[in-house]
Amino acid sequence: MAGSENIEQAGQAQGAQNKMQARKINQGNAALKRVVESMANGGGNVPFRDNKLTMLLQVKGNSSKLC
């Protein structure tokens, strides 16, 4: 996925804090991918609550559209 961070390189270059940030970026990207795939496939349950990033995408009343 574009924008994925290499956790090993982040950990070696700048320490544990950057490694943690890279891990969180990857988790957000994975959650976003699950939401987009679920919406594209017409899934009844769109996993908006998996991540703070995807919770921002949820539209009250109509979860089939993005804002």
pLDDT tens per residue across span 4-15: 566 666 555 567
Distance CA 15, CA 55 (A): 29
> Residue 18 belongs to what domain range?
7-55
Q: Classify residue 67: in a domain, yes or no.
A: no
CA-only gyration radius of the chain, Å: 14
Better-predicted residue by pLDDT, 13 or 46: 46
The mean pLDDT value for 56-66 works out to 59
Residue 9, pLDDT score = 60
Q: Classify residue 41: in a domain, yes or no.
A: yes
Q: 23 falls in which pLDDT band (50, 70, 90)?
A: confident
Q: Report the domain count for the chain.
A: 1
Q: Classify residue 62: in a domain, yes or no.
A: no
Residue 14, pLDDT score = 64
Q: Classify residue 66: in a domain, yes or no.
A: no
Q: Classify residue 60: in a domain, yes or no.
A: no
